[in-house]
Amino acid sequence: RAAIIDNCSRVLGGDTLNMLLTDTSIKIRILGSHDEVEVPTNIFLAATGNHFQVKDDTVRRVVVCTINPQGENPEETAFDFNPKEVMAKNRAEIVTAALTIMKAHIVAGRPAGKTTIPLGSFENWSRLCRDPIIWLLGQEYDPCKTIQAQRRDDPVALERSELLEQIQSTVGIDTPFQAKEISKLGGDEISENSWRDLYDLLVQRTGNPIWQGQAIGGVLTRSCGRPTAGLTLEKSEERDRNGTFYVLRDVKS
């Protein structure tokens, strides 16, 4: 069974999609009802689109295949064969060849598995599909390299990186701070320092026109525990009755 998300124009991601890609079954609500049903997820799921992006936790769950039509108007390209007919006619031969490659890698003692780390949550796929490709073609054809490329373009990670770098520039590393401190030092509209820049960035991330403490705390909390660009934000053990302390750590080392 297969499902295709065709002409995907939005950034691909979300909790439900992540569960669908990772878990063996998923509970979903029936449209127009409050009832939930549990359905298996043993399907091949693909998405197509022009340079669409994958975001956040979905990045590590997706392998990307790029087709370059080598032309400005690919819909005008003429072929002397029908891909569907070719695949249908040669399906048995193609499947046999793929299984032969997988078996050969196993018979050889799974050599690629000795130098690769299985992809978390997809260990079986790594051993059965990814490792034979690396063994046959070399490390440069590792399918997981497409994950690394998507990670560099992840809009959520890029936003988080911008925030962490602004905190580093304003507050520094290993220095506990509170949201109210940013509000006090950056809230002056005539201020032109890095505290004002951090203040404005946090307000922008909440989607609100003004500073709202609870929403600001939500932005900071959602950014915690996610190492990005060599930095990670943590909730500090230091606390008082006026709110949570946060601290930025350097994880490059």
Residue 174 has pLDDT above 90, yes or no: yes
Residue 110: Cβ within 10 Å count: 15
**Predicted pLDDT of residue 95:** 95
Determine contact, residues 133/143, Cβ cutoff 8 Å: yes
Residue 160 has pLDDT above 90, yes or no: yes
With both helix axes pointing from N to C terminus, report the angle between 155-170 and 194-206 in degrees, rounded to the nearest 10.
Answer: 150
Q: What is the pLDDT of residues 92-147, one digit of tens each?
A: 999 999 999 999 999 999 999 999 999 999 999 999 999 999 999 999 999 999 99
Mean pLDDT of the chain: 90
Q: What is the pLDDT of residues 207-236, one digit of tens each?
A: 999 999 899 999 999 999 999 989 999 998
What proportion of the chain, given as a percentage, has pLDDT over 90? 66
Helix or strand holding residue 16 (H, E): helix 15-22
* DSSP-assigned letter for residue 130: I
The C-alpha atoms of residue 29 and residue 2 are separated, in whole angstroms, by: 21
Q: What is the pLDDT of residues 43-77, one digit of tens each?
A: 889 999 888 889 999 999 999 988 888 888 888 88
Residue 191: pLDDT band with limits 50, 70, 90? low
Query: Rounded to two decimals, what is the model's pTM?
Result: 0.76
Determine contact, residues 235/223, Cβ cutoff 8 Å: no
Residue 192: pLDDT band with limits 50, 70, 90? low
Residue 205 has pLDDT above 90, yes or no: yes
**Predicted pLDDT of residue 67:** 84
Residue 228: Cβ within 10 Å count: 21
**Predicted pLDDT of residue 218:** 94
Residue 187 has pLDDT above 90, yes or no: no
**Strands (DSSP E) found in the chain:** 2-5, 25-29, 36-40, 44-47, 231-240, 243-250
**Predicted pLDDT of residue 50:** 84
* DSSP-assigned letter for residue 35: -
The C-alpha atoms of residue 222 and residue 233 are separated, in whole angstroms, by: 10
User: What token pair was written down for 151?
Assistant: 């990670």
C-alpha torsion 101→41→155→120, nearest 10: -50
**Predicted pLDDT of residue 163:** 96
The C-alpha atoms of residue 161 and residue 229 are separated, in whole angstroms, by: 6
What proportion of the chain, given as a percentage, has pLDDT over 70? 96
Residue 182: pLDDT band with limits 50, 70, 90? very high
3-state SS assignment for residue 29: strand
User: What token pair was written down for 6?
Assistant: 């065709």
User: Who contacts 174 (Cβ-Cβ below 8 Å, separation ≥6)?
Assistant: 247, 248, 249, 250
